Amino acid sequence: MFVFRNSWRDENGETVYSQKWTIGFADHRGAPRRLPGFTSKRESESLGRTLENLVAARVSGQPLSVELERWIAGLPDAIRTKLGAWGLLDPARVAAGKTIAEHMADWKAFLTSRGNTGKHVETSASHVRRIADSCKFTNWTDVSAARVVDYLNKIRARGTSARTANSHLQSIKSFARWMCKDGRAAANPLAHLQGQNVRTDRRRIRRPLAVDEIKWLLATTERQPECQGLAGMERVLLYRLGVETGARTSWPRSPARACASTPIRRPSPWRPATASTGERIRCRSARTLPPMCGWP
């Protein structure tokens, strides 16, 4: 390792030296490298010795020391990127210099490419952004499980439901898993966090409609005037579709009008309940209702 200052001759033929010193060293493959240092020769030599330690650790394959880890975390982005391009730093340590906002932009693009809806992508990103802003997460190295738990406790104390708090936790854990899978983080500090028990904080008690209630709803709706562009009978068809299939309330709004003429098989209205969907399925009473017009 050696340090030097670049020099050149000006228009008067006099030798001019650069203000900054340059560090010359050989990387782990033996290739010569040059890295700009500081205006101070002593600081540049100290940087050169640290680079030699980094090269030695890369050659031996030994884990980096605590001092080297701290030194890498405090490097300017330009130097960290250059060391990553030379192969002296792995992608996770290079990515540590990016801000959370930059990682989130890539994560949102990934979620979109996987076919997630725009609403889901924006909601997940909003959750992560709120946590990052509240916990003051600027870089990935700032992410701490303790601070995330403290944020969740604070919003719960303000009256947020357990389900909403769990949704925030799921979003940032999804972001953390992606960071690891994409090679941007060496470990997931949030992997051990678990959500709260939503059964102890039920804000809305849901239950299936009884057969008499469904009949009353359909009969009453059929006599009602047009609402939101739909006649009473049209709304009856949508209600029956939801009752007999267990579809979510948002599903009837999503198909195109042309889909109505697509031949489909009638689904079974008697589906076994599961732990995750048992409370949403309200189709058991469809057994006692006459078949819908138009169904094969």
Residue burial 163-184, b: 16+ Cβ < 10 Å; e: rest? ebbbebbebbbbbbebbeeeeb
pLDDT for the residue numbered 272: 42
pLDDT for the residue numbered 255: 53
Q: Are residues 75 and 25 in the same domain?
A: yes
Nearest Cα to Cα of residue 141 among 57, 74, 77? 74
Q: Are residues 108 and 190 in the same domain?
A: yes
pLDDT for the residue numbered 184: 77
pLDDT for the residue numbered 178: 92
pLDDT for the residue numbered 253: 61
pLDDT for the residue numbered 68: 80
Boundary residue ending a domain (89, 120, 143): 89
| DSSP annotation of 198 | G
Q: Domain range holding 15?
A: 2-89
**Bridge pairing between strands 15-17 and 7-9:** antiparallel
Chunked mean pLDDT (size 10), the chain, 296 residues = 87 87 88 88 88 87 77 76 81 72 91 91 94 90 90 91 92 92 82 86 77 90 88 88 75 53 45 43 42 40
Q: Say which residues have a Cβ less than 8 Å from residue 231's Cβ, sequence separation at least 6.
A: none
What three-state secondary structure class fits 199? helix
Residue 95 counted as domain residue: no
Residue 262 counted as domain residue: no
pLDDT for the residue numbered 251: 65
Q: Are residues 85 and 105 in the same domain?
A: no
Q: Is the pTM of this model over 0.95?
A: no
Q: How many domains does the chain have?
A: 3
How many residues in total does the chain contain? 296
